[in-house]
Structure 1
Amino acid sequence: MQHSQSDKSMLIIVPAYNEAGQIVQVINNIRTHVPHADIVVVNDGSKDDTLERARQTGVAVLNLPYNLGIGGAVQTGYRYALSGGYDMAVQIDGDGQHDPAELYKLMQALSQNGADMAVGSRFLDKQGYQSTRTRLIGIRFLSILVSRLTGRKATDTTSGFRLCGRRAIALFADHYPTDYPEVEAIILLHKHGLRFVECPVSMRPRLCGQSSITALKSVYYMIKVTLAILLLQSRGSRAEGPA
């Protein structure tokens, strides 16, 4: 990956909850592939040694005193990005599923399409880890729904591998969904007149540990998010985007 001076205006946000087993490897992997970017780990009230291990790497660490959930952790990262004046902010999960070596694909997609947010989709080229069968059903349903509501093709609405420009950073620092936020964030972006684009990436299984989202929670997730985005979509016309 070729690095430019613009990388110095990039912040990589790593939300982490009980990721002590892989957080150091995740950070080292980011440093290897994106050495000029700044990194902030948002420790979301972890009960294990995530906080201590992240601090030992020397990156910036924001410690939430109790678990806010992924939405609260990510918004904390965006607020940090906004206050720091970053041009770009990247979400990379703390479980090791996202490959920072593919960040250049998101950067190219954002630049070439004039979009405000680029989302890494594992389904465009169907390479790498594709998730479980139960989750795939929910992901496909939500992707069809989001595509219809926004008028733009969406294939991987639950992907947490995302790159945002300044306008999206400002929006998400001020407003960000709390519970299961990825899908709602796309609708929120659209409602404020901002654009997203997808690009193909390859994702990996978790480096270690297990996801907290069970098959039953996947069903709950699909129902809850569907209701939430329909409610969000029904709230009047688009608002003006951030300045």
Structure 2
Amino acid sequence: MNAFNPCFLIPCYNHGATVPAVIDALIPYGFPIIVVDDGSELATRKILSEQAKRPNITIVTLPKNQGKGGAVIAGIKQADRLGFSHALQIDADGQHDLAALPKLLEASQAHPEALISGQPIYDDSVPKSRLYGRYATHIWVWIETLSFNIKDSMCGFRSYPIRPIVNVINHNKLGLRMDFDTEIMVRFYWDNGDIRFIDTKVIYPEDGISHFDALWDNVKISWMHTKLFFGMLPRIPKLIRRKSTDQQH
């Protein structure tokens, strides 16, 4: 892989009120910022057009809302076209504790082929329904990988190594909504990808905007786990061999 040359990637859907503060917090790191406008309403589009006047900020505009996964895919492909080695995904709603960014950068630079993800530490603001839903997904992911290596597959605070992730994107029909975060991680693991974790605090602001649709996104996530389960079955021998190799190390 080329020298470590990262950019920040912010998927944004109607987060005009919060995204400028996120950008302000990222500017001191000196890395270019790609914001993907996922079909936002006029108010957010106006705010993003103002942000685009700042140096080192690229706005990718999707004409229609694709979902978080679709926005991240568009951002990763743009980062690839621009020659970046890594895309550091940051949510636009201020949910992530950016004090963990130095750890994310350090881990990504030390292990450039790895997908580095936050492992959330929640405070009392986390909705209990979301917390319990995460546990259900953890169990499914352990089954789909025959491994406990993936400690959390839903946190959107991560560093993607662009070339191997683009390979996964190009060879699979991935979910485009909230199912994307988990699916890309499982399929990257299936491709023998290295996945590592750092602790990061996650808060749910009282006035935060959530685009999680309790019905539709849960249907999508259930269908994703069904696909991954049946995709795991022919991979069982390979996954067992990998588990044995991992244990030896």
Q: Determine if the TM-score, normalized by the shorter chain, exceeds 0.5.
A: yes
CA offsets 1:16-56 (integer angstroms, 9 cap, x no match): 01111111111111114x2x110011000012422221221
Look up the equivalent residue of 2:117 and give its one-letter code: V
1:61 to 44, 59, 84: 59
Give SS of 1:94's match: coil
**How many Å separate the matches in 2 of 1:164 and 1:22?**
23
3-state SS in 2 of match to 1:202? strand
Question: Is residue 2:42 matched to residue 1:42?
Answer: no
> Is contact 2:108–2:114 with CA below 8 Å preserved after alignment?
yes
Q: 1:49 aligns to what SS in structure 2? A: helix
**1:3 maps to which residue?**
none
Are the counterparts in 1 of residues 85 and 163 from structure 2 also a CA contact under 8 Å?
no
Matches of 1:235 and 1:77, distance apart in 2: 32
Query: Which string of whole-angstrom CA distances, capped at 9 and with x for unpartnered residues, describes residues 84-107 of structure 1?
Result: 111211111111112333122223
Q: 1:43 to 1:218 in 2, by over 3 A?
A: closer
Q: Deviations over 1:98-118 (max 9, x none)?
A: 233312222333345565200
Deviation at 1:217, TM superposition (A): 5.1
User: For residues 189 and 220 of structure 1, what CA distance do their matches in structure 2 show?
Assistant: 23
How far is the alpha carbon of 1:184 from its aligned partner? Answer: 0.6
Where does the alignment leave 5 or more consecutive residues of structure 2 unmatched?
239-249
The AA in structure 1 aligned to 2:202 is M
Do the aligned partners of residues 30 and 147 (structure 1) sit closer, same or farther apart at CA in structure 2, a change above 3 Å counting? same
Amino acid at match of 1:16: C
2:87 to 61, 67, 89: 89
Change (3 A) 1:164 1:207: farther
Aligned residue in 1 for 2:126: 131
Distance 1:160 1:16 in 2: 12
The Cα of 1:192 is off from its aligned counterpart by 1.7
Question: What is the CA distance between 1:160 and its match in structure 2?
Answer: 0.7
Structure 1 position 235, deviation (Å): 6.1
Identity rate, percent = 24
**CA distance in 2: counterparts of 1:73 and 1:199, whole angstroms:** 24
Distance 1:134 1:222, change over 3 A: farther
Structure 2 Cα separation of the partners of residues 216 and 169 of structure 1? 29
Query: What is the deviation of 1:189?
Result: 0.4
> 2-side partners of 1:147 and 1:114: how far apart?
24
TM-score, scaled to structure 1: 0.81
Larger Rg: 2
1:15-26 equivalences in 2 (<5 Å): 15-26=11-22
Contact residue 144 and residue 228 of structure 2 kept, 8 A: no
Q: Does 1:144 align with 2:139?
A: yes
Counterpart position of 1:241 = none
For residues 113 and 38 of structure 1, the distance between their equivalents in structure 2, rounded to whole angstroms, comes to: 21
Whether 1:181 aligns to 2:180 is yes
Question: TM-score, normalising length from structure 2?
Answer: 0.79
